[in-house]
């Protein structure tokens, strides 16, 4: 880590980015932000980025969230509105707008309909400091949620375990890390590394992780430590299961996955990360796909595992 990078991020705070697209789901956003308000870690800066809200709707969001952040030690809140007409689906653009507003050393994300446990950021940041990793990962549990027009109902923990994986090998093979299951140390990266591909509106977070984790070592020692809930909704609005998507979304997903595979063919893995993976013959310029191809795989427990 260079002194220049450290100087850019002298603030030990954490920025958490949330995207919000539909004013009718504001109660879910309030629940997510409330889970941030109860975080033990400080300083915490909550950045909410809206997609083409009216001035009145933006004011509603600001007022409703501000009342959750009371007291001298409360997290700070910033609300921004993406108003450009293109792209129609601006998911990655919202994240990039939020990234431009970050001020702290640490970076995290939270979807508006998920929640974190109070200890989450304290545990994750402490582990980052201990390990010197660029990204640290933990576990999120799945909660079954029934969606009604005006509210959502939590029916209990789910037996479904969609996030199957335990280490960087698994992550290079396929994404198993929800966007709120990790924290990033921005001082480990240059600014031009931390961005979302605006060509992607599905799995944009996986593309983001591939690039960062190929560059700097990551830490999966807390992968069995739960830090929050992923809310699996019964209205099909989650994007984990491709079978719940319509024809248009499935086509987008197909295009995205081809782009992700192309990324694996072009992103070089640093020598430091190759050593972390114990690659037999590390060398400059080896890309993700090359490293995966050097391993023999077999199926175990529903995921593709390495042997040899």
Cβ pair 124, 138 in contact under 8 A: yes
Strand partners, 77: 46
Per-residue pLDDT for 286 more than 50?
yes
308 band by pLDDT with thresholds 50, 70 and 90? very low
Of the listed ranges 12-26, 124-138, 289-303, the least confidently predicted one is 289-303
CB atoms within 10 A of CB 213: 25
Q: Which two tokens stand for residue 24?
A: 């009718």
Q: Are strands 218-233 and 135-147 parallel, antiparallel or unpaired?
A: parallel
Contacts of 15 (CB under 8 A, 6+ apart): 45, 47, 98, 101, 102, 103, 104, 106, 107, 108
Between the alpha carbon of residue 206 and those of residues 19, 50, 177, 191, 210, the distances in Å are 16, 22, 8, 18, 6
Residue 254 sits in a domain whose CATH number is 3.90.550.10
> Residue 26 above 60 pLDDT?
yes
Of 178 and 150, more confident: 178
User: Is residue 1 scored above 50 in pLDDT?
Assistant: no
pLDDT mean over 180-192: 97
pLDDT for the residue numbered 98? 99
pLDDT of residue 232: 83
The pLDDT tens digits of the residues spanning 259-270 come to: 999 999 999 999
User: Could you write out the three-class secondary structure of 269-308?
Assistant: CCHHHHHHCCCCCCCCCCEHHHHHHCCEEEEECCEEEEEC
- For the entire predicted model, the pTM comes to 0.90
Give the mean model confidence (pLDDT) for residues 294-304.
54
Mean pLDDT, rounded, for 285-289: 97
The CA distance from 230 to 115, in Å, is 7
Residue 300's DSSP bridge partners are: 303
Per residue in 198-247, pLDDT (tens digit) is 999 999 999 999 999 999 999 999 999 999 999 987 766 665 444 467 78
Mean pLDDT over 263-284 rounds to: 96
Instruction: List all residues 6 or more positions away from 38 whose beta carbon is below 8 Å from its beta carbon.
Output: 118
pLDDT category at 114 given cuts 50, 70, 90 is very high
Averaged pLDDT of the chain: 90
Q: CB neighbours (10 Å) of residue 80? A: 15
* Residue 192 in this model has a pLDDT that exceeds 60: yes
Question: pLDDT tier at 6 (50, 70, 90 boundaries)?
Answer: very low
pLDDT for 244: 62
User: In whole angstroms, what is the distance from residue 234 CA to residue 243 CA?
Assistant: 13
Give the domain extent around 165.
Answer: 3-307
The proportion of the chain whose per-residue pLDDT surpasses 90, expressed as a percent, equals 75
Tokens read off for 182:
């990790």
User: pLDDT tens digits, residue range 81-100?
Assistant: 999 999 999 999 999 999 99
Mean pLDDT lowest among 6-20, 73-87, 97-111, 272-286: 6-20
CA separation (Å) from 251 to 59, 178, 256?
A: 36, 22, 9
Query: What is the DSSP code string of 207-236?
Result: HHHHHHHHHS-EEEEEEEEEEEEEEEETTS
Determine phi and psi for 75, rounding to 5 degrees.
-60, 150
Alpha-carbon span 253 to 87, nearest angstrom: 17
Into how many domains does the chain fold?
1
pLDDT at 83: 97
């Amino acid at each position: 880590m260079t002194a220049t990078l450290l100087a850019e991020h002298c603030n030990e705070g954490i920025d958490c980015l949330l995207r919000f697209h539909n004013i009718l789901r504001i109660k879910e956003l309030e629940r997510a932000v409330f889970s941030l308000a109860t975080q033990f870690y400080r300083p915490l800066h909550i950045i909410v980025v809206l997609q083409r809200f009216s001035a009145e709707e933006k004011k509603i969001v600001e007022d409703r969230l501000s009342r959750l952040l009371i007291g001298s030690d409360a997290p700070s809140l910033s609300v921004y509105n993406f108003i450009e007409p293109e792209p129609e689906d601006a998911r990655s653009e919202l994240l990039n707008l939020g990234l431009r507003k970050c001020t702290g050393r640490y970076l995290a994300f939270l979807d508006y309909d998920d929640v974190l446990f109070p200890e989450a950021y304290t545990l994750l940041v402490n582990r980052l400091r201990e390990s010197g990793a660029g990204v640290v990962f933990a576990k999120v549990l799945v909660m079954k949620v029934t969606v009604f027009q005006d509210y959502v109902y939590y029916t209990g923990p789910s037996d479904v375990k969609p996030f199957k994986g335990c280490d960087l090998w698994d992550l290079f093979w396929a994404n198993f890390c929800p966007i709120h299951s990790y924290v990033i140390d921005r001082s480990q990266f240059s600014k031009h590394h931390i961005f979302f591909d605006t060509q992607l509106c599905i799995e944009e977070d996986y593309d983001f992780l591939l690039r960062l984790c190929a560059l700097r070592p990551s830490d999966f020692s807390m992968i069995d430590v739960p830090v929050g809930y992923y809310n699996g909704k019964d209205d099909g609005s989650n994007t984990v299961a491709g079978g719940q998507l319509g024809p248009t979304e499935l086509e987008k997903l197909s295009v995205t996955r081809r782009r992700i595979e192309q990324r694996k063919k072009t992103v070089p893995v640093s020598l430091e990360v190759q050593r972390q993976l114990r690659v037999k013959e590390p060398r400059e310029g080896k890309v993700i796909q090359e490293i995966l191809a050097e391993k023999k795989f077999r199926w175990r427990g529903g995921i593709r595992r390495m042997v040899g």
